Structure 1
Amino acid sequence: MRYYGTVIRPPSEAASYLLQITYGCSHNKCTFCPTYLDKPFKVRPQHEVFEDIQEAQRLMPDTRRVFLCDGNAMVLNTEYLTNVLKALETAFPALQRVGIYANAHDILRKSIKELRTLVAHRLTIIYIGLESGSDKVLKKVCKGATAREIIQAVQKAQQAGFKVSVIALLGLGGTDLWKEHAVSTGRAISEMNPRYFSLLTLMLVPGTILYEQQQKGDFILPDPLTMLKEMRVIIEHTEMKRGCIFRSNHASNYLPLAGTLPKDKTRLLETIDLALKSGTQSLRPEYLRGL
């Protein structure tokens, strides 16, 4: 099995076989993201992918989960994806599910029929970054999609039978837009009502445009307690109609939380309030935070 450059996956895919079918991210313009700065986007030739699957079959014949890398492998056409999924089904009889990163346009470009075909071949979970429900914030960070487009993409994927895991970033609005960022994100998540919702905290990485903006004073990162206030406002503005598993246990976060919305909404808000009263002593120290 061959891997090129930095390979990332969601925390929930820790036990999955990671299969690179693309390199990098087809958008790769988000000002906050350092992941693929040194890796131009490229589609891997199918014969290479099939060779990797054959090797994985020999080494890990009992594989149950697979994650398709890199950044938004869902950009590939349905025929390519279906061929890969069929090869995985053949190689791994115990296969239960396949996961993938996507952006909004990857989903919106595909028909419901195409999406259902992928689900039928066990591609059943999509991870997508909302980042913020505020169009003003999304435009500033060059996300390449509006909040409405991301909401529609998530709704379409769920209509086709996918489970969707949505990610948003605390701190992305800076100190000037933090409240708008938080309120809009809570409302957008409510419209999506995804199966999973995770909050990460923005960490500024040298080499990214947003880091350079911060160095020049054009972007000010909120302090840890303001990040907690953001989290509180986001959760406060969620109105889920069906169960959504919520997590803020990523290593970047100051306060790890877990629960199901709307059932645990009050408990989550109370936990944040206690942390705010306790001050920074209750938060994860900087040296334990990471991407």
Structure 2
Amino acid sequence: MYFDTAEGPVFRPPSEADSFILRVTIGCSHNRCTYCNMYRSVSFRLRTMEEIVPQVERAKRYGESIRRVFLADGNALVLPTERLLEILALLRQELPKLRRVSCYAGPRDMLSKTPEELLALREAGLQLVYYGLESGDDEVLQYVRKGVTAQQAVAAGQRIVAAGMKLSLMVIAGLGGRLWSEQHARHTALAINAIRPHMFSVLTLMLYRGSELRQAYEAGQFAVLSPAEIAGEMQALLTMINLPEGGHCLFRSNHISNYAPLAGSLPQDKDKLLAACRQMKGQLAGLTEWDPYNTVEE
């Protein structure tokens, strides 16, 4: 649900399917990751309250049914804290049944906020942040132009957790290709162990038209993993994830990019998830043909 006619596409996490999508920025302030083409068609800009308020006004007629709001586009946390607090206050005022506000956030935006600012945002109602860590490996992060080191990427996630917000972390299987697959899995597991997210999802690399990584593949400069190798990388990643006993991290790999859906909680379901990875690896090994674009042509 959104009430906006501004330029550019609208994206949201799968779990925000029933949310009111409030676009507080247009595009992505970084917009240089080589694996992503989500916001290449628009120029990034912050939106004014004059643009934001009418969206909320139009949503008010459905106010009794709106329980969740997702702040779009690519990294709403780039907004000044004062603007975000103003938006959160407006939402509380106009949507009486509101229970949760969430957003995407980039690592540099998270690091730019002080602990006090993040605490204020959490107390004002920003309860969940979706963070695309993608990898915990320095070479992979540099290759895909994520804009941060592994140390910075970990510190960004830790800052959100420390503020008392829920953190939904995303990583991309296959992002290191064949060259960096082993270290991508190992260092990403170490990053997850250090961050201790509340939710953790594994997506599978998709080579989107218009992305530099697809161009590198087509030029023979990037070797993609086969489906069975993707399953093996996920198995290696899960093997090295060691979250505290008694904790609860919701794990999913049910994105459209994934070859098979996996679901469970860590650390409780680790053995079950590893067995599923082994089974998936065996099943995918029988494929004689596979699509290096992971069936995506857009």
Whether the TM-score (by the shorter chain) exceeds 0.5 is: yes
Report the alpha carbon displacement of residue 289 of structure 1 after superposing the two structures with TM.
5.8
d(CA) in 2 for partners of 1:288, 1:264: 28
In the alignment, is residue 198 of structure 1 matched against residue 201 of structure 2? yes
In the alignment, is residue 144 of structure 1 matched against residue 147 of structure 2? yes
Aligned to 2:105: 102
Report the alpha carbon displacement of residue 60 of structure 1 after superposing the two structures with TM.
4.0
In the alignment, is residue 65 of structure 1 matched against residue 68 of structure 2? yes
In the alignment, is residue 240 of structure 1 matched against residue 243 of structure 2? yes
Q: Quick one: which amino acid aligns to residue 264 of structure 1? A: D
In the TM superposition, what whole-angstrom CA distance separates every residue of 1:82-126 from its partner, at most 9, and x where no partner exists?
000100000111110100011111111111111111111111000
Secondary structure of 1:7's match? coil
d(CA) in 2 for partners of 1:182, 1:240: 16
Aligned to 1:87: 90
1:13 aligned to which of 3, 13, 16: 16
Give the conservation status (yes or no) of the 8 Å contact 2:206–2:294. no
d(CA) in 2 for partners of 1:279, 1:26: 38
Give the conservation status (yes or no) of the 8 Å contact 2:137–2:150. yes
Percentage of pairs with the same residue: 41
d(CA) in 1 for partners of 2:77, 2:238: 29
Q: Quick one: which amino acid aligns to residue 267 of structure 2? A: P
Secondary structure of 1:240's match? coil
In the TM superposition, what whole-angstrom CA distance separates every residue of 1:25-45 from its partner, at most 9, and x where no partner exists?
000000000100111101111
In the alignment, is residue 115 of structure 1 matched against residue 118 of structure 2? yes
Q: Number of aligned pairs?
A: 289
d(CA) in 1 for partners of 2:177, 2:249: 27
* Distance 1:16-1:289 versus aligned 2 partners, 3 A rule: farther
In the alignment, is residue 264 of structure 1 matched against residue 266 of structure 2? no
In the alignment, is residue 2 of structure 1 matched against residue 4 of structure 2? yes
1:276 aligned to which of 277, 281, 294: 281
Aligned to 1:181: 184
In the TM superposition, what whole-angstrom CA distance separates every residue of 1:250-270 from its partner, at most 9, and x where no partner exists?
010012100001110011101
Secondary structure of 1:40's match? coil
* Distance 1:59-1:93 versus aligned 2 partners, 3 A rule: closer
In the TM superposition, what whole-angstrom CA distance separates every residue of 1:149-175 from its partner, at most 9, and x where no partner exists?
111111111111100001000110011
Q: Which has the higher mean CA deviation after the structures are superposed, 271-280 or 148-157? A: 271-280
Secondary structure of 1:125's match? strand
Unmatched 5+ residue regions in structure 2?
Answer: none
Secondary structure of 1:173's match? coil
Secondary structure of 2:65's match? coil
Report the alpha carbon displacement of residue 220 of structure 1 after superposing the two structures with TM.
1.3
Q: Which has the higher mean CA deviation after the structures are superposed, 269-278 or 195-204? A: 269-278
Q: Quick one: which amino acid aligns to residue 193 of structure 1? A: R
Secondary structure of 1:227's match? helix
Secondary structure of 2:229's match? helix
d(CA) in 1 for partners of 2:145, 2:95: 39
Unmatched 5+ residue regions in structure 1?
Answer: none
TM-score, normalised via structure 2 length: 0.93
d(CA) in 1 for partners of 2:127, 2:66: 16
d(CA) in 2 for partners of 1:213, 1:273: 30
2:260 aligned to which of 235, 255, 263: 255
Aligned to 1:153: 156
TM-score, normalised via structure 1 length: 0.95
Secondary structure of 1:101's match? strand
d(CA) in 2 for partners of 1:79, 1:101: 18
In the alignment, is residue 227 of structure 1 matched against residue 226 of structure 2? no
Q: CA RMSD in A?
A: 1.7
In the alignment, is residue 50 of structure 1 matched against residue 64 of structure 2? no
* Distance 1:229-1:161 versus aligned 2 partners, 3 A rule: same
Secondary structure of 1:249's match? coil
Report the alpha carbon displacement of residue 278 of structure 1 after superposing the two structures with TM.
2.8
d(CA) in 1 for partners of 2:22, 2:266: 32
* Distance 1:107-1:288 versus aligned 2 partners, 3 A rule: closer
User: Pairwise mapping of residues 160-175 of structure 1 onto structure 2 (< 5 A)?
Assistant: 160-175=163-178
